[in-house]
Amino acid sequence: MACECGNKKESLDKYLAPLREVLKNYEKEEKYLIPILQEAQDEYGYLPEEVLKEIASYLDLSLSQVYGVVTFYTQFHLEPRGKNIIRVCMGTACHVRGGADVLAAVKDALGIENGETTKDLKFTLETVACIGACGLAPVIMINDDTHGRLTPEKIPGILASYK
């Protein structure tokens, strides 16, 4: 699942080259795990298994230990992420004003569940507790853009503008 380059050592080396550049800047100490993971995720967009294995060997940790840390923090992702990240607000104000219907409309339009990414890697769907734009409820954010006062009918049009 990790990389599309198959198992050949050469292509794996090529795939891991950017990571190895990152690792050069860190000593082999457990305390650097989180900064390394952050930089690796910036590099690859997510944290593929091969990348985690390489980090584990570098820091002399087991893969389970690294996996434990990655799954603890919501900032880390084990799956590729879409080009556009949609965050649907589930805060109280949005909830009261139909946030759930908006979420359902997004799910319908993209054919994915919360936390998933579309096959074409265009969109990732997430829910968040509160965006802090309650005056505009119900709201969603796509990347850095806020879309407020939504109704389910408006969703397809908004999504289309990001394709």
Q: What gap in Å lies between CA 66 and CA 53, rounded to an integer?
A: 8
Q: Does 67 bind other proteins (CB under 8 A)?
A: yes
- Of the candidate spans 37-45, 52-60, 80-88, 130-138, the one that interacts with other proteins by CB under 8 A turns out to be 52-60
- Number of residues this chain uses to bind other proteins (CB under 8 A): 16
Is 64 one of the binding residues for other proteins (CB under 8 A)? yes
Whose CA is closest to 45, among 80, 72, 8, 69? 80
Instruction: Please identify which residue in 11, 25, 71, 92 interacts with other proteins, judged by CB under 8 A.
Output: 71
Q: Which one of 22-30, 36-44, 56-64, 80-88 is the stretch in contact with other proteins (CB under 8 A)?
A: 56-64
The tokens for 1 are: 């699942």
In degrees, rounded to 5, the angle at the alpha carbon of residue 68 between the alpha carbons of residues 24 and 126 is 95
| Residue ranges binding other proteins (CB under 8 A) | 49, 52-53, 56-57, 61-68, 71-72, 78
